[in-house]
Structure 1
Amino acid sequence: MSTIFGFISQNNAVSPLSPLLAQHPELGYRHLSALGGGSVWQAHGTQIALADALSQHSGYALLARLDWSYDGGHAAAVSRGRIGVVMRGQLENAVPLAAKLSSLGYEADSTQPAALIASLIHWHERTLKDLPRAVLAARQELVGIHAFGAASSDDNSALVFTGSRIPLFVSLSLGGVACTDNVQLLPADRREQLRLHDGDVASLSPGRIDVFDAAGQPVRRAATLALNSDETLDRFGHHMEREIDEQPAMLADALSHSGALPDLARLLGGDAVDALGGIRAITLIASGSSHHAALSARYWLEATVGVPVLVELASEFRYREVALLPDTLVVAISQSGETADTVASLRYAAQLGETHTLSISNVIDSTLMRQARWHLATNAGPEIAVTSTKTFTAQLLALYQLALGLARQQHRLDPQGASTACARLALLPQRAQEVLALKPQIDDWARAIAQGQTLFCIGRHGNYPVVMEGAQKIREVAYLNAEGHAGGELKHGPLAVIDRHLPVVACVPWNRLAEKMLANLQEVRARQGRIYVFTDAALASDERMNVIRMPASLGELDPVLYAVAFQLLAYRIAVHRGNSIDTPRYLAKTVLTE
């Protein structure tokens, strides 16, 4: 997860950000990329270290990106010593854009989106002679979920910001003008605050804010200043809703940072390439939502890497007389990295002599990450709500990329497979955004389901773990007795309790198992069950079956999209039931005991 920040002042533009980072270590940033003096400079470490690094610089304008990871990737760039850019997110059209810029004489690398944007703005600014108009022209050529700030080497240049599906906030204070996607970074003494509309271009100069809409027309945006303890909620009712909404941007950040097909050296470090060359099995250990992510990963790992994959509940694994296969890679997964059973299970695996250990967590300096030989950080950013949402999808993405990395290392990923995977990953953030657009339809379902007390969620293959995760989310925040079942297992008991009062929510992506899922739903219909179907197929709703059309399929990545849909459903059911959503009863964010 990344954040961009800009500040322009008649005094020192560094002064607002440096003390804020020092005073609020809970923000969790570990890397800083900044533009100053026509060049890019970086720092990494604790937020105190980042604040110290900032304090060594000065100037009237600051453009910066802050990252949760220790590596900011290609966050900032300068084109021909004139146009500087900091950006977050992803460009879906990076490859054709790089080809166009190369034909225009620019050095262009499709893996460095900030440099592409800087060169594109430079090209337009040469003829338009106006930075805001050049940014507007460049923005119209960009495809993807992103936000960026730009500056020119001219002494009197403004800072110019724009974004696509990443909200940006602009504030005016006594010290100067700021723009960021994280409202917590805005100066405390601000006297005016605006929320830009999607596609707006904001030009910032000391004491002045000019905003242009997507058509280039000057506009005035309503002030949104609300200085209170919940200002981070922005327009959302709860942190859970906000964190669900952040997922497309989080996925775009992750893909931009690591690349669609990172090799093992980039994912885990150089020594993993040789050490994991001879693995003969993989064991995944996790609890709760992380266990469901591991179950999803089993389908990817077995299909792409071609080795047996076991998925273990940490609370059971640590007390079993375990017989691990030789040359097993043990992967422990925990969002917090402090889950007691998972930490103990990884320690137990080491006691059994297993040296090939990998930890996956959202907290890079957690206990679990320190115990393993290799670690893979999901970098989803802070998650305040107890119920996991964006950290779950971040785990799915990390595990999918791990599967691809291992497959490449084992020479099991051919060029066609790699090309297909790259294309699907490039579309993932946008498809997730399309799922969020289904909120009104999902809310209609939620209003009806909230009237009952029980619920079945069914799916097959890669979506079976997703419906288990969906059922858990509904139990956690909606307090319904929700159960997740494999569609093919309904006839082995669950059908006995289906009647006209029981809602059944099904995942039916149109794949080789779709007809079997429809046959399973016919069994539900025969017992007068109330059917709700998420599908990318053109199925028609009727009196006993409600259908929501999902975005076009992304193949093996469909579980990510259906997981987001279930998160929205769980949230809206909880809202209609009037529950405590961010802090569900009897639950804690991190389970530190058995």
Structure 2
Amino acid sequence: MCGIVGAVSTRNIVPILVQGLQRLEYRGYDSCGVAVHDGGLKRARSTARVAELISQVESEHLEGTTGIAHTRWATHGAPAVHNAHPHFSHGPGADAAKGPGRVALVHNGIIENHDELRAALKAKGYHFASQTDTEVICHLVDSLYDGDLFNAVKEAVQQLHGAYAIAVFCKDEPHRVVGARAGSPLVLGVGADGENFLASDAMALAGVTDQIVYIEEGDVVDLQLGRYWICDRNGREVKREVKTVRAHSGAAELGPYRHYMQKEIFEQPRAVADTLEGIQGIVPELFGDGAYRVFKEIDSVLILACGTSYYSGCTAKYWLESIAKIPTQVEIASEYRYRETVPNPRSLVVTISQSGETADTLAALRHAQQLGMEHTLTICNVATSAMVRECKLSYITRAGVEIGVASTKAFTTQLAGLFLLTLSLAQVKGRLTESQEAQHLKAMRHLPAALSAVLALEPQVISWSEDFARMQNALFLGRGLHYPIALEGALKLKEISYIHAEAYPAGELKHGPLALVTSEMPVVTVAPNDALLEKLKSNMQEVRARGGVLYVLADGDSKIESGEGIHVIRMPEHYGELSPLLHVVPLQLLAYHTACARGTDVDKPRNLAKSVTVE
């Protein structure tokens, strides 16, 4: 979600700060800003894109050797300049209109006790210029400042309840930036010539430094020229490992594509091939040292995830129970963490996250660990993320950087990783024969070619999108293994075209949703040629009998024909257990081309963020 960049240097660091913000734009944001130390506090803020902020910075000749910058996704307070970060303190008797105080601060996360802190600070005479919870932290640091910013921040965070990653500097201490984190990611970049940097993502520092220190939960970090130090939540100075992280240097080139989402859809054959690269056989060690012992001991699986990752987990449940014969429960992370459950110490807790920093999923993981479930594994796209560091086992997908907010290649690579997990568990439990293993591996190796064949259907999907662009609602149906794919298809359409869409198991159609079916409610049906096909055909007839119009993704041998009120796209081949990876691709393309036809912002849909690092 929100992005942070900070720097201490001897050169003008404004170009580095705003370049870092550009590299974090993919996360989603609705305002941005930069503040520097230049004989005092100076800043520029905007509710437009970072490109407009850069123009503003240049026109105002904003320069400085110490500074912080931020992209904001609104939580407390509307997207407006006065709510944009960085925030300045306004101490007792100060008037925001007459200029800044002495502290500048940016913040990712949500402070849950901001109301009581605000009341206490107002009683001390602090003036608030915004509706944000962030300004509360800024004033709190100012109220505790006695000449040492590091100590003031350490004291301030002890009073904060909630999630935060912050970067702060003070006009009285040039060449010093202090950061802290709890629940939101923050990294330290160690640069050349005494420079030091802070960022919410190592990508923001690509090309500036590849020497990265991952700030741990509860840490406070002090950056100065040529040195830095870190204290843990107990105030003890600690050493954190410096890692070489060669992050991508920002958004990849679009090439022949109109949007990053379209590019990423077409990158799926390569992404899946990369995710499966080097796999010659099914062995538990694919998931880390000690995986065999863990897999042997567990008797069930608990999957925790949010959004698109949750739907990949729902798909995996069918695989895990049908192939590995292991009871599997899939929980929405934001619900699981707050409800009473019956913990099973012999359950394998599997988290799924594209970024590895999803706040609700991390919190759900920690909740499960606190309940005594110590066998943890993550399927994640970022090897250096908090999720990977906090789980004992992991499988790193190789989707590469995903810029579009609506996830595509991250989803299919998650499915590839989850299918490998299914086969590994089945093998350890003695439920996978050598011939079955060989058959599954052959099918997985063919996936890139199969995905390429599905992508060739794009022109037919475009013709569907012309119909959908005129609609306000849509219904998606699937059965069995493909019900979660229908859910994912509906989510994609909602996210980027703003068409209201719902998904149902097709057998549930007559239990309520059928009341919605008219000629203005298109019904998308995922119809592979599997054991449930004949049942699904009956559900389709229920739609046609009510005047509904069907849009069917059918396998070539399913004997479903186009006709009045029924539009059929034939998939190149039936793909058995791995069919969900193929059937989701036309649904991604449908959402994409419908959004293009409606003129929405495909890569940055309204109100949404890429990496959801707040609750």
Matched residues, percent identical?
A: 44
Task: Please tell me whether the aligned partners of residues 251 and 403 of structure 2 are also in contact (alpha carbons under 8 angstroms).
Answer: no
Partner of 1:540: 561
What is the correspondence of 1:234-273 to structure 2 with a 5 Å cutoff?
Answer: 234-259=255-280, 261-265=281-285, 267-273=286-292
CA distance, structure 2, for counterparts of residue 552 and residue 574 of structure 1: 28
Matches within 5 A, 1:73-152: none
Residue 354 (1) aligns with residue 373 (2)? yes
Partners of 1:378 and 1:395 within 8 A in 2: yes
Q: Is residue 344–residue 373 contact of structure 2 (8 Å, CA) maintained in 1?
A: no
Question: Partners in 2 of 1:320 and 1:414 — Cα distance?
Answer: 39
Equivalent AA in structure 2 for residue 497 of structure 1: L
In the alignment, the residues of structure 1 paired with residue 550 and residue 597 of structure 2 have an alpha-carbon distance, to the nearest angstrom, of 20
- Equivalent runs, 1:205-284 vs 2, <5 Å: 232-259=253-280, 261-265=281-285, 267-284=286-303
- The match for 1:459 is 478
Cα deviation for residue 27 of structure 1 reads: 9.9
Q: Within 5 Å, give how 1:354-503 maps onto structure 2.
A: 354-503=373-522
Tell me the alpha carbon deviations over residues 479-534 of structure 1, each in whole angstroms, 9 at most, x when there is no partner: 00011111001011000110111100101001110000000000000001010000
Deviations 1:404-458 (A, max 9, x none): 0111111100123212212211221111001100000000000111101000010
Q: Equivalents in 2 of 1:402, 1:488: separation in Å?
A: 29
Paired with 2:387 and 2:344, the residues of 1 have a C-alpha distance of 22
Distance 2:446 2:251 in 1: 33
- Structure 2 match to 1:205: none
Tell me if structure 2 keeps the 8 A contact 1:538–1:549. no
Q: Give the secondary-structure state (helix, strand or coil) at the position aligned to 1:541.
A: coil
Distance in 1 separating the partners of 2:296 and 2:388? 22
Higher Cα Rg, which structure: 2
Deviations along 1:356-406, one digit per CA (max 9) or x if unpaired, are: 011121111111111111111112100111110000001000000110011
Output the amino acid matched with 2:296: G
In 2, Cα distance between equivalents of 1:371 and 1:238 = 34
The DSSP-based 3-state class of the residue aligned with 2:293 is helix
TM-score by length of 1: 0.61
One-letter amino acid matched to 1:582 = D
Contact 1:27-1:382 at 8 Å conserved across structures: no
Q: Which residue does 1:292 correspond to in 2? A: 311
- TM-superposed CA distance for 1:306, in Å, is 1.1
How has the CA–CA distance of structure 1 residues 421 and 231 changed in structure 2, closer, same or farther, with 3 Å as cutoff? Answer: closer
Partner of 1:580 in structure 2? Answer: 601
Alpha-carbon distance between aligned partners in 2 of 1:504 and 1:489, rounded to the nearest angstrom: 14
Quote the Cα distance in structure 1 between the aligned partners of 2:350 and 2:279: 20
User: Secondary structure of the equivalent of 1:329?
Assistant: strand
Alpha-carbon distance in 1 for matches of 2:343, 2:324? 18
Instruction: Kindly provide the CA deviation profile for residues 319-355 of structure 1, in whole angstroms up to 9, marking residues without a partner as x.
Output: 1112122410001111111111100010011111111
Q: How many residues align?
A: 370
1:185-237 CA-partner distances (Å, limit 9, x unpaired): xxxxxxxxxxxxxxxxxxxxxxxxxxxxxxxxxxxxxxxxxxxx988110000
**2:323 maps to 1:314:** no
Structural RMSD (CA): 1.9
| Equivalent-residue separation in structure 2 for 1:512 and 1:437 (angstroms) | 27
- Is residue 23–residue 251 contact of structure 2 (8 Å, CA) maintained in 1? no
Segments of 5+ residues of structure 1 without an aligned counterpart are 1-22, 29-228
The CA distance in 2 between the partners of 1:524 and 1:243, in whole Å, is 33
Taking the aligned partners of 2:458 and 2:538, their CA distance within structure 1 comes to 28
Deviation per CA, 1:75-130: give whole Å up to 9, x if none. xxxxxxxxxxxxxxxxxxxxxxxxxxxxxxxxxxxxxxxxxxxxxxxxxxxxxxxx
Q: How does 1:551-590 map to 2 (within 5 A)?
A: 551-590=572-611
Q: Does the aligned pair in 1 maintain the 2:377–2:391 contact within 8 Å?
A: yes
SS at match of 1:236: coil
Secondary structure at the aligned position of 1:270 is classed as coil
CA shift for structure 1 position 26: 11
Cα distance, 1:230–1:249 mapped onto 2, change above 3 Å: closer
- In the alignment, the residues of structure 1 paired with residue 355 and residue 282 of structure 2 have an alpha-carbon distance, to the nearest angstrom, of 24
Say whether the 8 Å CA contact 1:290–1:333 is kept in structure 2. yes
Deviation of 1:24 after TM superposition, in Å, equals: 10
What is the alpha-carbon distance in structure 1 between the residues aligned to residue 612 and residue 585 of structure 2?
24
Aligned 8 A contact 1:240 1:387 in 2: yes
SS of 1:332 mapped into structure 2: strand
- Which SS does the other structure have where 1:256 is aligned? coil
2:103 maps to which residue? none
- CA displacement at 1:551 relative to structure 2: 1.6
Cα distance in structure 1, aligned partners of 2:21 and 2:605: 26
In 2, the alpha carbon distance for the partners of 1:253 and 1:344 equals: 30
Report the CA distance between 1:274 and its aligned residue: 1.6
Q: Which amino acid is the alignment partner of residue 263 of structure 1?
A: V
- Secondary structure class of the residue paired with 1:533: strand
Change (3 A) 1:561 1:333: same
Name the counterpart of 1:138. none
